Amino acid sequence: MPIIGNVGRKSLKVRILNIAIHLILILGSLTMIYPFLMMISASFKSAVDSKGFSLYPRYFLEDKVLFQKYIEARMNEESSQFIEQYQNRYIAFDYLQPPAEPVENLYSDWTVFISENGGNYQLTDFYVSEQFGRGVYPRNERKFRNLMKSESNGDLELFNQRYNASMLSWDEVRIEEKNILSRNYSSAYQGYLLRYIDFKQDLPNHDKVFASIDGHFLSNELIPAYRGKLELLNASLETSFAEWKNIVLPATIPEGKMREHWIKYVKYRLNINHVKAVNKALPAYQNFLKSKYSEIELLNMTYKSSYPDFSTLALPEKLPAAGALLVDWIFFIENLAEPEHLYVTGIQYDFRNWLKARYYSIDELSGIYQKGFKNFSEISLSTEFPEHNLSLQKDWSEFVKNEVPASKIRVLMTAQQYFFDFLTAKYPSKDLKIDLDKLNSQYDTNYQNQINIYPSAEIPEQMLQQKDWQEFVNDYLPPRFILVDESQEGQWQDFLEQKYNNDIEALNLQYQLIYQDFDEIDIDNLTIDYYTFKEHKWNIFGEFLTRNYIMVLDLMLYNGRAIVNTLIYCFLAILTAVIVNPLAAYAMSRFKLRMTYQIMLVLMLTMAFPPMVMAIPNFLLLKNLNLLNTFWALVLPAAADGYFIFLLKGFFDSLPKELFESATIDGAGEFRMFRQIALALSKPIMAVIALGAFNAAYRNFMFAFIVCQDKSMWTMMVHIYQLIQRSSPAVGFAALVIAAIPTFLVFVFFQNMIIRGIVVPTEK
């Protein structure tokens, strides 16, 4: 139903106006489409990739981002667990890089080892991957919850009775395991957590994250003691570790200064299930129990055992989750056991022993795992300061300072403070700052403030500046603020070849890139996780694609009656709107009441006030009528709408009076005329009113929350608000996308009615 007729369209001015209107509408639509697409994109993200804004999630096209998301979920969003597993190599999930040259043989050995031995490990040996997340329901959390639902036939009350629980909703059935390698971790599970033990044990091996004792030793003992500085550790312990990952926790007490850290960690910090004692500790253990219990009968009664005497007591092989035996063993280990009698058990020690039995020599294993460089031409030049390997850092710094031409060096702007210190020493003022007058005179510059001075990124052209710049770079600037041109790679390889006398093995030993002993092999969790990721890539992608939406739908369908309440509320709102408003408008239009003008004025005045102005009076009135937490509280305050009545009255006034007169002559009653004439001719307007009532009811949040605070009466908008308060932003965006779908579909399928409702009254 065009607004501009065919004749009008032939005019040039009208055409220009028409084009301008359409351009404005297109631009306006783009301003709404763009943020909507951004919201859709954000609804597929998680914490690790939510910082960047894009029209599509980057993990759709970039495996690196998908890998970061997978590791974030695999580590249950716990950065401390992440740091432990990768032995202090990365500080956050978004810094994670896939391995540059992953070795498939390592992963193959690991999978064979786990398939042979994985079932032997218990609660304190591994975490469950994707078991817990902040504001989201990961895959295995949903899997366990669905298991509980199926075993309880979806009946929450039955679940509570079976496991002596008091859950108010299914989303409370969740588990968060942390620090399973710590001494204070308790595996004394009760209730449905006992069922979780079986669930955890039955998971496939790729869903188990075997905890790194080496990483836990670093994070909880060595790194705090040496403030995270490996060079300080080497100086204090008289060691020469090139990287943190080269440090492993020996199974038995080591020699040297590492001994004290081993004792402190094993005796007091490591989970007691991983601490064992050799038979030499048995006499001390028996004497301890004899001194504590005096009589064997008392010990048997406490332990619920049947030992004939104390001499028959044995060292415990497997500890209970709680009880006197556990308490006594912890006391004995911490206070009485000799450190030389203790040893540590765990999957990493079993894997090392398995490798020792599988391979002929450590050199053979290094070759199969492609450890170290084969020749100097393989060693690429890092354009920036290498972060992890101390030996590599030392060689890189020496190369940059002595071998790289100044024209091939760039200085980072973040070195400003070091440049300040250099210039302060070079051009000091009386107040111990930079003498700007002298500096400007020497450099032929015009600095007005010290804060504006930055080191030149490249070597300056002015002679004095050039001299000072070279002195600053060579003598004052830490290498981590320097970038090297990649064209120097050939010189870098020649430098290393000359320094190590063309002996690549000497370089590998210096950088600690090859294995020296089976007992010092670090578990390469990064490579293991990377190949696990590649093996299950499309399942992982599908999980992240649907996870946020699954959580929203799960909460909507299984927690409360949000969808049902919204459907009932919208239906009642539409029904009352198409009954009450037409009746009021028809009465004022047909019967010419003396107070019609005043009534319409009052009705129109209601449009001048925001709806929330009436929230408190409506709430008090509904409370006095005892209608709170009912559908009446939602529907009655909005049953009559001033704008709808005004619109309908104007439409009814435009209807020819002859229609009603002829109907009266034919014997039609007032209600029949209202139904068969007034309503029949006002279908477009009624459609607009119905859609308006639906839209108002569907998006009603604040008033619905005020008058229906009982969770069983929450509508979708209230439920979404509550969901956003405790979920991740991505889940909140997913909820908003789902909430937008009904209104979008209504517009798509009923847009003709909406247009007719707008145009028909104008034509009348």
- Asked if residue 517 belongs to a domain, the reply is no
Across 412-430, average pLDDT: 88
pLDDT at 210: 93
The whole model's pTM is what? 0.85
pLDDT at 713: 85
pLDDT at 182: 94
Give residues with Cβ within 8 angstroms of 215, minimum separation 6: 83, 84, 85, 86, 87, 88
* pLDDT tens per residue across span 113-160: 999 887 788 888 999 999 998 889 999 999 999 999 999 998 889 999
Same domain, 158 and 285: no
Most confident of 199-208, 634-643, 693-702: 199-208
Joined together, the tokens standing for residue 96 give 């994670």
Q: Are 303 and 312 in contact (CB under 8 A)?
A: no
Give residues with Cβ within 8 angstroms of 444, minimum separation 6: 462
pLDDT at 754: 59
- Asked if residue 242 belongs to a domain, the reply is no
Strand partners, 483: 384, 410
- Asked if residue 47 belongs to a domain, the reply is no
pLDDT at 10: 64
pLDDT at 351: 94
**Residue whose C-alpha is closest to residue 662's, from 680, 641, 647, 676:** 676
- Asked if residue 258 belongs to a domain, the reply is no
* pLDDT tens per residue across span 531-575: 999 999 999 999 999 999 999 888 887 766 888 888 899 999 989
* pLDDT tens per residue across span 227-284: 999 999 999 999 999 999 999 999 999 998 999 999 999 999 999 999 999 999 999 9
Joined together, the tokens standing for residue 593 give 């009441």
Count of structural domains, the chain: 5
With a cut of 90, say whether residue 426 has pLDDT above it. Answer: no
pLDDT at 3: 55
Helices and strands (H and E) in the chain: how many: 36, 6
pLDDT at 505: 92
**Residue whose C-alpha is closest to residue 693's, from 564, 591, 579:** 579
Same domain, 548 and 647: no
Same domain, 165 and 298: no
Alpha carbons 70 and 49: distance in angstroms, whole number: 11
With a cut of 60, say whether residue 759 has pLDDT above it. Answer: no
* pLDDT tens per residue across span 655-670: 787 777 787 887 877 7
Q: Are 408 and 529 in contact (CB under 8 A)?
A: no
Same domain, 37 and 67: no
Query: Tell me, what CATH number does 706's domain have?
Result: 1.10.3720.10
Give residues with Cβ within 8 angstroms of 639, minimum separation 6: 576, 577, 580
pLDDT at 398: 92
Same domain, 543 and 571: no
Alpha carbons 353 and 323: distance in angstroms, whole number: 33
Q: Are 622 and 633 in contact (CB under 8 A)?
A: yes
Same domain, 394 and 323: no
Same domain, 584 and 713: yes
H-helix or E-strand spanning residue 299: helix 296-303
Most confident of 90-104, 338-352, 450-464: 338-352
Using DSSP's 3-state secondary structure scheme, residue 276 falls into: strand
- Asked if residue 713 belongs to a domain, the reply is yes
With a cut of 50, say whether residue 761 has pLDDT above it. Answer: no
H-helix or E-strand spanning residue 660: helix 657-665
- Asked if residue 175 belongs to a domain, the reply is yes
With a cut of 90, say whether residue 33 has pLDDT above it. Answer: no
* 718 against 597, higher pLDDT: 718
With a cut of 80, say whether residue 168 has pLDDT above it. Answer: yes
Residue where a domain stops, chosen among 286, 309, 338: 338
Task: Find the range with the poorest average confidence among 2-11, 62-71, 515-524, 684-693.
Answer: 2-11
pLDDT at 757: 52
Instruction: Give the pLDDT band (50/70/90) at residue 762.
Output: very low
Same domain, 37 and 69: no
- Asked if residue 176 belongs to a domain, the reply is yes
* pLDDT tens per residue across span 480-501: 999 999 999 999 999 999 999 9
Q: Are 127 and 209 in contact (CB under 8 A)?
A: yes
With a cut of 80, say whether residue 211 has pLDDT above it. Answer: yes
pLDDT at 4: 58
Same domain, 538 and 499: no
Using DSSP's 3-state secondary structure scheme, residue 273 falls into: helix
Instruction: Give the pLDDT band (50/70/90) at residue 6.
Output: low
Question: Across all residues in the chain, what is the average pLDDT?
Answer: 87
pLDDT at 55: 85
Structural domain including 18 reads: 8-42
3-state secondary structure labels for all residues of 31-50: HHHHHHHHHHHHCCCCHHHC
Q: DSSP code of 696?
A: H
Residue where a domain stops, chosen among 338, 368, 396: 338
What is the crossing angle of helices 729-763 and 12-42, to 10°?
150
Tokens 């032929």 belong to which residue? Answer: 444
Same domain, 688 and 575: yes
pLDDT at 751: 67
**Residue whose C-alpha is closest to residue 124's, from 44, 20, 237, 200:** 200
With a cut of 80, say whether residue 758 has pLDDT above it. Answer: no
pLDDT at 763: 42
pLDDT at 703: 84
pLDDT at 647: 80
Alpha carbons 137 and 469: distance in angstroms, whole number: 55
Q: b/e map of 434-469 (b: 16 or more CB within 10 Å)?
A: bbbeebeeebeeeeeeeeebebbeebbeeeebeebb
Same domain, 113 and 146: yes
Task: Find the range with the poorest average confidence among 20-34, 122-136, 588-602.
Answer: 588-602
Task: Find the range with the poorest average confidence among 103-117, 160-174, 683-697.
Answer: 683-697
- Asked if residue 241 belongs to a domain, the reply is no
With a cut of 60, say whether residue 764 has pLDDT above it. Answer: no
Same domain, 302 and 437: no
